[in-house]
């Protein structure tokens, strides 16, 4: 809190998992991407210093609920289940879950996933959906890209992952394609601890400004439509 020193800004701690381009990834030892820039813009509006903590994806919500982080920004999909533990801000992106397979795969769409070995990033919505597929065997990886490499190596049949990182990963994984038919549609939001209405309102106000003044689109265009 403000101790009267005008030079010391309060710090806003963001929890993320920087294995998710174009939302968060490492560029040297810097964490960059849409979420990093949106969070920085929010911190600027609040007159606060942003600190980004990189961690396993399934540690993000616990970090927020334990107070280790003030908010989570990680291409986090709004789900009813997560709402039991955190409050979500207004959404700032639409997203999909897509299927990635080998170019010569017999899997042509979601209906062909029955009984298959499916790779996901641990704790993601992809993990949740894959678990609902009849007779599927779900392989959970710490990083989404590790699941893509496992498909390449023939260890698993398919990956269920968010559409935008899939587009980035497919560029780095020869012989892999993204199926046209999306698996599900979702929305991303930032997450704060349940009941932290003060921060929730501050972030929503800042987010709303960024939507209205075009800054959000500018950040997204820099990473996605370029």
By CB under 6 A, the residues from 79 to 118 that bind ligand ARG are none
21 binds ligand ARG (CB under 6 A): no
In the complex with ligand ARG, the residue whose CB is nearer, 150 or 205, is 150
Name the minimum Å distance from CB 16 to ligand ARG: 6
**Which residues, including other chains, have CB under 8 Å from residue 111's CB and lie 6 or more apart?**
none
| Minimum distance, C-beta of residue 33 to ligand ARG, in the bound complex (Å) | 9
Residue 136 sits in the site that holds ligand ARG (CB under 6 A): no
Residue pair 149/159 in contact by the 8 Å Cβ criterion:
no
Indicate the residue among 31 and 210 with the shorter CB distance to ligand ARG. Answer: 31
Tell me whether strands 11-16 and 71-72 are parallel, antiparallel or unpaired.
parallel
Dihedral in degrees, nearest 10, Cα atoms 202, 206, 211, 212:
110
Q: Is 24 in the site for ligand ARG (CB under 6 A)?
A: yes
How many helices (H) and strands (E) would you count in the chain?
A: 7, 12
Token digits of residue 179 = 């199926």
What is the C-alpha to C-alpha distance for residues 166 and 20, in angstroms, rounded to an integer? Answer: 9
Stretch of residues binding ligand ARG (CB under 6 A), selected from 11-19, 61-69, 103-111, 172-180: 11-19
Contact positions toward ligand ARG, by CB under 6 A? 16-17, 19-20, 24, 57, 74-77, 121, 124-125, 162
């Amino acid at each position: 809190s403000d101790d009267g020193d005008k030079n010391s800004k309060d710090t806003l701690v963001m929890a993320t998992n920087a294995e998710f381009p174009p939302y968060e990834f490492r560029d040297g030892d810097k964490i960059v991407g849409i979420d990093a820039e949106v969070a920085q813009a929010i911190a600027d509006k609040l007159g606060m210093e942003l600190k980004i903590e990189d961690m396993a994806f399934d540690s993000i919500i616990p970090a927020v609920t334990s107070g280790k982080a003030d908010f989570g920004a990680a291409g986090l999909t709004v789900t009813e289940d997560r709402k039991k533990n955190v409050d979500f801000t207004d959404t700032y992106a639409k997203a999909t879950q897509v299927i990635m397979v080998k170019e010569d795969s017999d899997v042509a769409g979601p209906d062909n996933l029955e009984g298959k070995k499916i790779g996901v990033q641990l704790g993601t919505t992809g993990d949740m959906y894959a678990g609902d597929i009849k007779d599927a065997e779900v392989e959970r990886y710490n990083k989404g890209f590790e699941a893509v490499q496992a498909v390449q190596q023939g260890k698993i049949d398919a990956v269920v992952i968010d559409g935008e990182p899939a587009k980035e990963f497919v560029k780095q994984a020869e012989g892999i394609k993204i199926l046209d038919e999306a698996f599900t549609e979702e929305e991303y939001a930032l997450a704060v601890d349940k009941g932290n209405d003060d921060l929730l309102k501050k972030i929503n106000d800042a987010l709303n400004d960024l939507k209205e003044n075009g800054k959000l689109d500018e950040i997204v265009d820099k990473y996605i439509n370029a």
